[in-house]
Chain A
């Protein structure tokens, strides 16, 4: 067990297919999502979260190359055909592996799996990684060291598909407080949270003509608090806010960090 923190030992991430050949099913499926699989910034979050799962001895697996887009961006863009194509294929796969519980670091995957899959035959307990991490801490499966972020000023950006869409406001905040940090809230937070600009398939298109980009508006609101860290719980918010900070040339002063990265850092993982 003591070897786990040793970075020279590569961690193996099991896939459902591998477990199935041994006749096993994971307790939890880690749904990585497209951003978490392919986007360089989001991959760091994926790896942090996987390290925590490994460190806490969770019986988990991923779908690996068998995972597909949940269909979320297609659905929000109005392409219900493509959405249901993806959904029904994913559900077939998930049911074949007898998946009961899914954790994901992407609020868009979270929302789609949790709310839109059940009617199509995919009924799972779906939780966001902030909820899962909080549970790990509260059940003592992982410990956090408050020293890692001592003296840092932090604000938290609510992802729309976690907050307003699913009323998860407290888990991410409780998690941050476990790190002995006090959140400096933006004026537009919780129910009044302001979108990063990526939702509803905006991530994949140019914005319509206007006088400002949505992510700049939000980044400026966060920057006005002069935080050291902007905590996020969504790969798209992460990209949008990181870009917004860079455009304002504040990337040396302000870091955008995912909750999983903060917990991993606090565990030297």
Chain B
């Protein structure tokens, strides 16, 4: 409790990291729900990796000769913004490419997503090895260290997730309709392609901002594990959404407190905690079912 009180203190040195963790904890599960409902879990793994490749690419622009060192130095204060643009650009491009290939209906979706994931991982490393900028923080980002979050980045995260949350709230019925029954949506004269693109942009924006703040590992963890856990116990869509976001937010706060107390990296601690909660919920649900059947049998 003392640790929780300490990290929630407005004068706490790492308060921005706490706030960003909490924002990621609430926002990623809200968007992850749609990845699970649309059975795009592999995409939830690949997209954070692709986003981090975009960030690595943005940081490598001088080394690649695409932007002069002078220009890059000029934008040094905005390097996080450049990284955000790189991450978002790569994520949206990957989403559009995957959507285009899916509409053509050839080949295996899992194969395409898997290939993108592997290539993105390889290129992230290749772009970083010859890049002095990468050493300054990108490797920490890829490891899921959430230590120094500047104020502008906190605001970027807050505004981006605010936009995503508001869009999901306002257009929930459209997103649900085109996800559940796109053919029915067409008969109701809904522009399914436009709504799908809008949802993909929200997914891309959430992932890019989250990867920039907490790295691909933590983003992937918060995108998928809280919704999968909530799906075990929820009985309707409202419970599913509220439970997934609450689990994400709760785990982000508790994970930060544990990591701070035990001097662990925050990201992996968060993901390990989410895994523990998932395991506990799984065992609890199936254990109760087992006892119920055994009791009913007697």
Q: Do chains A and B interact in one complex? A: no
Question: Using a CB–CB distance below 8 Å, which chain A residues touch chain B?
Answer: none
Question: Using a CB–CB distance below 8 Å, which chain B residues touch chain A?
Answer: none
